[in-house]
Structure 1
Amino acid sequence: MTNWGILGCGKIADKFANDLLLTEGANLYAVASRDKEKAVNFGNTCRAVKSYGSYEEMAQDPDIDIVYIATPHMFHKENTLLCLSNNKAVLCEKAFAMNLEEVEEMIAFAKAKKIFLMEALWTHFLPHYKFVLDKVASDTLGEIQSLKADFGFNSPYDTTSRLYNKSLGGGSLLDVGIYPVFAALSLLGYTEDISAQAQLGPTGVDHNCTIKLRYPTGVEAQLFSAIDEQTDTTCHIVFDKGEIVINSRFHEPSSVTITENDVTKTLEFKITEGVNGYHYEILHCQEMLALGKTESDVMTFSKSKKLIMMLDTIRAQIGLSY
């Protein structure tokens, strides 16, 4: 069994804990919040063995193998370094950190300690997304000609909400815009040719962001994110000889509609009832630990660095600084 700790007890932690309880080989050993009562309530709900009112206390527990960090983006570096310094492997929620400098510091520390560290970009491990990546690699549809991806939801404007709080890394780009950017990175690769514009709100965060990526081949990717507007949240890929649409919501377990040889069909990717889909990355982390790996062979350090580099460039273009 792999003993997991969860650092941070918010909504994403709740979904992750649900899947941990249903994942083979995983034991939800401990949870931690800076609010002891919140930690105890969360721990009781998800049947954790221990509940801590301090991140430091949990990080020092010798029985924990790996910690899932589910705090706001602004604290990812601090929380990751705390866990690594206490010899705990880390799965840190996306966005990995606030900028490339922080990400490089986290990776360098993990390498020096020879401890496993991975960015929790769960989409990369989902069956429907792996199918699309394999289909692109097979070249049966030819080269990609264009890509369009969006992720938007309508969250009421609230200055007390994490989403609209600049001090917590709020805004659409790091929260949901990371998914369309990841789609472009994983399907088309890295590019520095980026143009972006955004609507910045009264608190200084981006309410929505429009991004265009250009590649040396002439291919363009059009991306959009929003926290003030509901969008289809699909990913549409046009090839020489067909099309693929990753249906809503493309970043989570979904279906894929593929047009090939003038025939269109939709493929369903059923997952176990009751799980959200985080168990795929959980199983991957456990496999990496069992093999003694200190870096994922799927969500590599290189991918995380390229992703944050693209996000940094976009932030510079739209004038968003933290």
Structure 2
Amino acid sequence: MIRDKSAKTPAKDAPKKQAANKAAPDKAAKAPVAKTSAAKTPAANAAKVAAAGKKGIIAVAPPSFRRERALIKRGVWPVAGCDEAGRGPLAGPVVAAAVILDPDRIPRGIDDSKRLTAEEREKLFDKICATAQVSVAVASRGRIDRDNILRASLWALKRAVVALPEAPRHVFVDGRDRLDTACDCEAVIGGDGIVLSIAAASIVAKVTRDRLMCALAQDCPGYGFEQHKGYAVPEHLDALDRLGPSIHHRSFFAPVAAARAKHMPWTVEPVQDLFSVTEVEVHVEASVEIDASVNL
């Protein structure tokens, strides 16, 4: 019987292969350690943070002309967008604007006015006024005091729509309140960041009001209207406490009312406390007799 000796005899290269196989796990085991140590270096950490930061960025889409084009396809035109500026400040008017964009000449870069710098707003203001139909309405400080800020804003928005050179057939308005207009009106919450026509109106309203506040700063120096545009920033509150309210301040806003009570207390009417209890002393003369037989 002939046996195959080659099955039992190891090959000449076997020791080398076994040695290589034994060395391979050692290298594999050392490899993760090298990676882990590299991950602990500041450069690696900075790269990871940068990568995570890029992944965590939330892209905000600019407003689009999609809703306006949908109405145009249905045969509805003109379509206007309107917005206001100046609800929150302690001084100055509320300014509303209405805009009908030309679909063939829409300026590039239109966005929510709050996302733009002052220089960008000024440039876009000129482009919008040169290519679109634009109107502006102003609700004065007196109207705000008389009607309250919400009613004054809605009044100005409606006046801006009515003042457009061409009567729109559909109006988009920023916010939750629809306007009492002759045409269809659609309220869009956050509309200045969604609807392009509203965004254009927000730019026109913001730039117009900023210019008005700079003019009021010359009329009433010391308040810094040209800087904060009437908003309740610390500098404005400090000037209000130091100088008292001007004729351009909104009377019923809390900081203004407090400053008036400090500087002009005689203009503040005392408020009667309806829940207070007043004791009234009644004195009855014991010597007085009442004759019941007398016809009263």
TM-score range, shorter chain: under 0.3
**TM score, norm. by length of structure 2:** 0.26
Structure having the larger proportion of residues in strand: 1
Q: What is the TM-score normalised by the length of structure 1?
A: 0.24
- Larger radius of gyration between Structure 1 and Structure 2: 2
